[in-house]
């Protein structure tokens, strides 16, 4: 009880202090309305800042998370770069949106703005492949629907791909297909559990804490284990997806990329 009332008194004071400091640290942020940092390198730097500071709420790739909305489908609160700048810099009052670290330079704020714009860039890139053939490979020969869902159809052992074209550009899609083991997010790690009777269960790691483990096996069945009651377990940080390299022809891969990249929200 005493602790709680202390927090209640301290919190508003603290917030007020943050607000004042932020406001005076960037008195004329909106004076520059044109983003000076828009090269590909700037976008990548912005992406890096984003992953460090924003990903926990908005998702690593800005497609939305439990705490923050999808940022790949336009912005409700800003229509210009300057507007985005001030949201990223100052956050949105009375919401969980807290904005960037107070010590961030204007340059890194602009880089984040460039990155946010890149997430919404639906410019039609000229791709060699054919999206309709790509869809056939996806649903047929590629067996991609075993693990991936598009518009409600398919498996759950891999990320949902309904709008993958909004969060991945063609180059990133190509690496996802050719080198799936690179850069696997913990959400897609596998665990192999050896039970006390010696039997082995393997599957995607759904949940793990000090005492328990939850996994989803190949049949999409869920298993829970208490760590004290299994013989051992092993975490595997590679992807369960295998590379298409050597499995599909180069033109099938091009077609798949054209299809995947076409999976975006319509421009409104």
Binding residues for ligand HEC, rule: CB under 6 A, are: 50, 53-54, 56-58, 67-69, 71, 75-78, 84, 87-88, 92, 95-100, 112, 116, 138, 142-144, 146-148, 157-159, 164, 168, 173, 176-177, 180, 184, 188, 239-241, 244, 256, 260
Specify the residue, 213 or 244, whose C-beta has the smaller distance to ligand HEC. 244
CB 180, CB 171: distance < 8 Å:
no
Helix, strand or coil for residue 216?
Answer: strand
Structure tokens at 109: 């704020």
**Shortest CB 142 distance to ligand HEC, Å:** 3
**Shortest CB 133 distance to ligand HEC, Å:** 13
CB 218, CB 160: distance < 8 Å:
no
Specify the residue, 134 or 225, whose C-beta has the smaller distance to ligand HEC. 134
| C-alpha to C-alpha distances, 194 to 213, 225, 228, 252, nearest whole angstrom | 12, 10, 12, 39
Residue 78 CA to chain centroid, in angstroms? 21
Please state, in angstroms and rounded to a whole number, the distance separating the CA atoms of residues 114 and 40.
9
**Shortest CB 121 distance to ligand HEC, Å:** 15
Specify the residue, 106 or 227, whose C-beta has the smaller distance to ligand HEC. 106
Specify the residue, 26 or 230, whose C-beta has the smaller distance to ligand HEC. 26
Please state, in angstroms and rounded to a whole number, the distance separating the CA atoms of residues 166 and 164.
5
Please state, in angstroms and rounded to a whole number, the distance separating the CA atoms of residues 204 and 191.
6
- Residues paired with residue 223 on neighbouring β-strands, in sequence order: 215
Specify the residue, 232 or 249, whose C-beta has the smaller distance to ligand HEC. 249
What lies within 8 Å, CB to CB, of 214 at 6+ separation is: 205, 206, 207, 208, 222, 223, 224, 225
> Among candidates 31, 17, 18, which has minimal Cα distance to 91?
18
**Shortest CB 229 distance to ligand HEC, Å:** 27
Specify the residue, 72 or 213, whose C-beta has the smaller distance to ligand HEC. 72
**Shortest CB 56 distance to ligand HEC, Å:** 6
- Residues paired with residue 75 on neighbouring β-strands, in sequence order: none
| C-alpha to C-alpha distances, 23 to 18, 67, 79, 109, 245, nearest whole angstrom | 8, 25, 22, 15, 53
Specify the residue, 102 or 231, whose C-beta has the smaller distance to ligand HEC. 102
**Shortest CB 149 distance to ligand HEC, Å:** 11
CB 165, CB 261: distance < 8 Å:
yes
**Shortest CB 130 distance to ligand HEC, Å:** 15
């Amino acid at each position: 009880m005493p602790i709680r009332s202390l927090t209640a008194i301290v919190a508003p004071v603290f917030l007020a202090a943050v607000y004042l400091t932020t406001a005076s640290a960037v008195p004329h942020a909106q004076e520059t309305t044109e983003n000076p940092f828009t090269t590909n390198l700037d976008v990548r730097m912005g992406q890096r800042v984003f992953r460090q500071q924003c990903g926990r709420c908005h998702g690593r790739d800005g497609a939305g998370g439990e705490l923050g909305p999808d940022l790949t489908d336009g912005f409700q609160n800003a229509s210009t770069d300057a507007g985005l700048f001030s949201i990223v810099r100052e956050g949105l009052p009375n919401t969980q949106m807290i904005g960037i670290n107070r010590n961030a330079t204007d340059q890194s704020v602009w880089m984040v703005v460039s990155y946010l714009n890149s997430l919404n860039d639906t410019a039609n890139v000229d791709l060699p492949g054919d999206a309709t053939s790509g869809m056939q490979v996806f649903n047929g020969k590629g067996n991609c629907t075993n693990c991936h869902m598009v518009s409600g159809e398919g498996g759950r052992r891999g990320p949902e791909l309904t709008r993958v074209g909004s969060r991945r550009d063609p180059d990133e899609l190509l690496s996802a297909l050719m080198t799936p083991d690179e850069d696997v997010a913990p959400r897609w790690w596998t665990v192999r559990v050896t039970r006390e009777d010696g039997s082995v269960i393997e599957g995607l790691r759904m949940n793990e804490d000090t005492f328990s483990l939850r996994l989803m096996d190949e049949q999409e069945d869920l298993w829970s284990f208490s760590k004290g009651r299994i013989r051992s377990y092993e975490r595997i940080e590679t992807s369960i997806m295998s590379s298409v390299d050597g499995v599909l022809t180069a033109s099938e891969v091009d077609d798949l990329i054209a299809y995947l990249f076409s999976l975006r929200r319509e421009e409104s």
